[in-house]
């Protein structure tokens, strides 16, 4: 039998809070075990690994048969469609690792629950401030008990746009080129360094739209659901769905104009 969405969100929130506490506590003692992953700027720390290990252990204790996809270890069964109950957990133990490294109070735990391949519940928790965004598919998105309403802006020229950059130098150059062409058409740009929180800021209307190329599923699974449930349209180019090529989250009236700029600028292309 399939578990209820409320039950999955409850577990997700409990695990995210524990993970956030561990990340914050470890940061108070300084940063240790720093190494690089895909490129010299793609950093991982002992905390990323420790938080993921702890969170996976808690998930396994709560729901032993489920699959887990985590940023740092992948998880032996993380690529499958889900365990016995069709459930797969998608975890970024520390999203915003560079902020973490520098002690900027802006990094998050992102955890989503997928059932039969569809994300049905998700939580993003800022590990320092405790800000916590949640959503259940079909049940709305919330922060501190308040239902989230995304921006109602209709003029792209007045839209505040959040985005981010990958770690590969050639990709970053392409992304910067796209941004240089986009800036004249929008109000301004923000780069906070945490894709999951970017999506939540769009969900609560603190920015109008968000887009990024090159995200991994753990960066956008939970935040994407929260953005969708706040009223945003979350998709890729030409209806391809949000994915590694591009994630766009925008109010319905801004989605088309932003999408068309990004398509014209080949935002999903390049390395
Ligand atoms: C990164 C952050 C960043 C985004 C990158 C992500 P990480 O995740 O979310 O904001 O621009 O694309 O890879 O490496 O800090 O977990």
Report the nearest atom of ligand 1 relative to the CA of 198.
10
106, 204: one domain: no
**Sign of CA pseudo-dihedral 242, 14, 128, 37:** negative
Q: Do 115 and 186 belong to one domain?
A: no
Q: Are residues 68 and 168 in the same domain?
A: no
Average pLDDT score over residue span 124-129 = 98
Q: Are residues 139 and 12 in the same domain?
A: yes
Q: Is residue 96 pLDDT above 60, yes or no?
A: yes
The CA radius of gyration of the chain, in Å to the nearest whole number, is 18
CATH assignment of the domain containing 39: 3.30.540.10
Which of 106, 192, 195, 214 to mutate for ligand 1's pocket (most ligand atoms within 8 Å of CB)? 195
pLDDT in tens, 41-81: 888 988 889 999 999 999 999 998 899 998 887 654 444 55
Residues 170, 104 share a domain: no
**Domain CATH code at residue 241:** 3.40.190.80
Parent domain of 78: 5-147
Q: Is residue 271, in this structure, part of any structural domain at all? A: no
Q: Whose CA is nearest to atom 5 of ligand 1?
A: 166
CA of 194 to the centre of ligand 1 (A): 5
CB atoms within 10 A of CB 75: 20
Contact assessment for residue 26 and residue 50, using Cβ atoms and an 8 Å cutoff: yes
Pocket test for ligand 1, best of 73, 101, 166, 193 (most atoms within 8 A of CB): 193
Structure tokens at 84: 């016995």
Structural domain count of the chain? 2
The three-state secondary structure class of 142 is strand
Cα 2 to ligand 1 centre (Å): 32
Pocket around ligand 1: residues whose beta carbon is below 6 Å from it?
71, 92, 95-97, 164-166, 193-195, 212, 214-215, 219
Picking from 2, 12, 5, the residue whose alpha carbon sits closest to that of residue 133 is 12
Q: Name the packing angle between helices 195-203 and 217-229 (round to 10°).
A: 0
ipTM of the complex: 0.97
> What's the CA gap between 208 and 112, in Å, rounded?
23
Q: Does any domain span residue 248?
A: yes
């Amino acid at each position: 039998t399939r578990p209820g969405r409320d039950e999955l969100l409850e577990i997700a929130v409990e695990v995210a809070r524990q993970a956030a506490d561990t990340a914050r506590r470890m940061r108070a003692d300084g940063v240790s075990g720093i190494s690089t992953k895909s490129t010299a700027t793609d950093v991982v720390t002992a905390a990323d690994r420790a938080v993921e290990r702890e969170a996976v252990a808690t998930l396994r204790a709560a729901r032993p048969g489920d699959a887990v996809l985590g940023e740092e270890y992948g998880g032996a069964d993380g690529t499958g469609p889900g365990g016995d109950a069709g459930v797969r957990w998608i975890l970024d133990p520390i999203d915003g690792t560079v902020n973490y490294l520098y002690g900027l109070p802006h990094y998050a735990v992102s955890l989503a629950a997928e059932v039969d391949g569809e994300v049905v519940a998700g939580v993003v928790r800022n590990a320092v401030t405790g800000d916590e965004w949640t959503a259940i598919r079909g049940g709305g998105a919330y922060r501190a008990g308040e239902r989230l309403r995304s921006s109602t802006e209709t003029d792209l020229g007045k839209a505040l746009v959040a985005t981010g950059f990958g770690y590969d130098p050639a990709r970053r150059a392409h992304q910067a080129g796209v941004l240089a062409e986009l800036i004249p058409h929008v109000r301004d740009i923000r780069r906070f360094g945490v894709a999951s929180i970017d999506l939540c800021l769009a969900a609560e209307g603190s920015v109008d739209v968000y887009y990024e190329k090159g995200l991994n599923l753990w960066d956008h699974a939970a935040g994407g659901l929260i953005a969708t449930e706040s009223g945003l349209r979350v998709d890729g180019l030409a209806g391809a769905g949000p994915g590694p090529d591009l994630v766009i989250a925008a109010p319905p009236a801004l989605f088309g104009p932003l999408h068309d700029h990004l398509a014209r600028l080949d935002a999903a292309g390049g390395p």
